[in-house]
Amino acid sequence: MRRALVFLTTSILTAAPAAGETTRAKQAILVEHSTGRVLFEKGADTPMAPSSMTKLMTLFLASEGMKEGRAGENAMVKIAQRAAACAVEHNLSP
């Protein structure tokens, strides 16, 4: 999964050294894992709705939980009452 995230990051950003990075994305951020240093950002402080990155992070966290034995394919997931109410409000089935 880590390779997929690295691939995604390198696909979003063009391969360029520290100065002169570009991307067509409205928002982007690239952080060096070992130091936490921000290498590139564009619109990083601009509020935005959840997107595909949210889905990828959910998949990543679920995968990590399964590897560590904290979750399984048939694990029950607690849904907050507020989130459940929002799903009902928007006619989303469980």
- Enumerate residues 6+ apart whose C-beta is below 8 A from 38: 29, 30, 31, 32, 44
Is this model's pTM higher than 0.75 or not? no
Is there a contact between 66 and 60 (Cβ–Cβ < 8 Å)?
A: no
The residue with greater pLDDT, 2 or 89, is 89
Tens-digit pLDDT profile for residues 22-81: 888 888 889 998 999 999 999 988 887 767 778 888 888 889 999 999 888 888 878 888
Q: Find the angle CA(28)-CA(82)-CA(54) to the nearest 5 degrees.
A: 20
Listed by start position, the domains of the chain span: 2-89
Most confident of 1-10, 14-23, 56-65: 56-65
